[in-house]
Amino acid sequence: MLKELFDNNKYLICVGISTLSLVFTSISIISVSKSIKELSNDLKPISTWADSQNECITKTFRIDGRNTQGIPSKVWSCNGGGQ
């Protein structure tokens, strides 16, 4: 009787399983996208700071009249180093 019930409704059973699978996949995708958005928002201040550091380092050519083209000196200057 169970085999007969399965044989008569196997397509309906497969459709139900596929639908449930799609629903759970959609919920999972929504959850992951929310997590990524939260992570992105948490990293925003670091991104802003890195942009300002890159801009400062790119524009720094001289410190106290001396030509200091080395990256360590530029980073030091951009982070408030010096007198």
- Is pLDDT of 66 > 70? no
Here the tokens at position 65 are 């009249």
Domain, as residue range, for 78: 43-83
The tens digit of pLDDT for each residue in 6-60 reads 888 889 989 999 999 999 999 999 999 999 999 999 999 999 999 998 898 888 7
In a domain? residue 48: yes
- Is pLDDT of 77 > 70? yes
The answer to whether the beta carbons of residues 53 and 71 sit under 8 Å apart is: no
Residue 24 confidence (pLDDT): 94
In a domain? residue 9: no
Give me the half-sphere count of Cα atoms (radius 13 Å) on the Cβ side of residue 19.
6
Its pTM stands at 0.50
At residue 65 the predicted structure's pLDDT band, cuts being 50, 70 and 90, is low
In a domain? residue 6: no
Residue 63 confidence (pLDDT): 61
In a domain? residue 4: no
Q: Which residue has the tokens 């801009």?
A: 55
In a domain? residue 29: no
Q: Into how many domains does the chain fold?
A: 1
Residue 68 confidence (pLDDT): 59
Residue 64 confidence (pLDDT): 67
In a domain? residue 21: no
